[in-house]
Amino acid sequence: MPRRTPGPRSPRVFDRIVEGDAIAVLDSVPEASVHLAITSPPYNLRLPYRGYTDDRPHDEYLAWLGDVWRALYRVLVPGGRFVLNVAPTSIKNFRPIHHDLSTDLRRLGYIMRTEIIWYKQTMGRRTAWGSWRSPSNPHIVPSWEYVLVFSKEQWKLPGDPTAVDIAAKEFETFSDGFWAIPPERRRAGHPAPFPEALIERLVKFYSYRGNVVIDMFGGTGTVAAVARRLGRHYLHIDSSSEYCRQAFERTRAARPPAEAPIPPPVLAVLAGAAGPGPLAAPVD
Ligand SMILES: C[S@@+](CC[C@H](N)C(=O)[O-])C[C@H]1O[C@@H](n2cnc3c(N)ncnc32)[C@H](O)[C@@H]1O
């Protein structure tokens, strides 16, 4: 018998779109129940998110994210993966936060598996050359983002070999760590949504069908919608009710494969905004 990784243990926890704070909601998730987390946190770049101020002192920002990574570690299964998308900061105020974050995560005990370069092919729209044709002060334009991949405790994720859904050609393409994928153009009022193609690759490469995939800074719900469409259970967390509503509609519209009929989402808010608590009754 192939070994099975644990599935979702409670219908009240997974296949949900939850409005709440990332740490508080993670604290309400059962230990060792998540196979893959994919997220892109606020980068502290003063982006105009609804209901969140993206401008904290750097140390406070890193300490807060450290608390999120700690809360995530508890809920990952052994061998569970954490995929962290980080964009380079602005040209003139370049801060290598991907180095800070990977150092912090390794300090917390995560195994760093790899770094994928997501090449966004955005050079056509460049406007900032710095000192044009002069070494005086030329600028490199960040036409890429980092996709940093970590594991909990071990490299291998146990799973059912019959629940593998990646084709040979896809495996060959995805295992080359330079991924040329255009950024998402349909922003739907959000400053930084993931392109679905990026998430499809990560979900198929790093998880089995039937696994649990989460995003604790879920925005417009790209991870939840793609996870459902690919036959994975999902949990979407975001502090904005408006983004959660969008994520709910989007995930509800996603069609799961016949062999993995993942249920449509329930929309919920976490009771007690300030701290851990039980998930409130669904609002829909
Ligand atoms: C970079 S965006 C994620 C975008 C997402 N990848 C997508 O495809 O739409 C970061 C998100 O974190 C949310 N956020 C900020 N603080 C939060 C917190 N404490 N808990 C949960 N979500 C939070 C913001 O509302 C924002 O949607």
Q: Is the dihedral of CA 63, 64, 70, 76 positive or negative?
A: negative
pLDDT above 90 as % of the chain: 70
Predicted confidence band of residue 127 (pLDDT cuts 50, 70, 90):
confident
| Mutate which of 239, 244, 245 for ligand 1 pocket (most atoms within 8 A of beta carbon) | 239
The CA 75 to ligand 1 mean position distance, Å, reads 19
pLDDT at 125 over 90: no
Predicted confidence band of residue 73 (pLDDT cuts 50, 70, 90):
very high
List pocket residues of ligand 1, CB cut-off 6 Å: 21-22, 40-42, 49, 52, 190, 192-194, 217-220, 222, 237-240, 243
- Contact yes or no for 119/179 (Cβ under 8 A): yes
| Mutate which of 52, 214, 246 for ligand 1 pocket (most atoms within 8 A of beta carbon) | 52
The conformational region for residue 44 under phi > 0 = left, psi -120 to 50 = alpha, else beta, is left
> Can you list the domains of the chain with their CATH numbers?
16-123+139-269 (3.40.50.150)
Q: Which one-letter DSSP state was computed for residue 142? A: -
Q: What is the pLDDT of residue 2?
A: 45
Return all residues near 197 (Cβ < 8 A) that are at least 6 apart: 181
pLDDT at 272 over 60: no
pLDDT at 130 over 80: yes
Predicted confidence band of residue 56 (pLDDT cuts 50, 70, 90):
confident
Predicted confidence band of residue 187 (pLDDT cuts 50, 70, 90):
low
The CA 163 to ligand 1 mean position distance, Å, reads 30
Q: What is the pLDDT of residue 278?
A: 44
Q: Counting runs of H as helices and runs of E as strands, what totals does the chain give? A: 7, 9
The CA 85 to ligand 1 mean position distance, Å, reads 12
pTM for the model stands at: 0.90
What mean pLDDT comes out for the span 67-85? 98
The CA 224 to ligand 1 mean position distance, Å, reads 13
Q: What is the pLDDT of residue 283?
A: 38
Which residue has better confidence, 238 or 283? 238
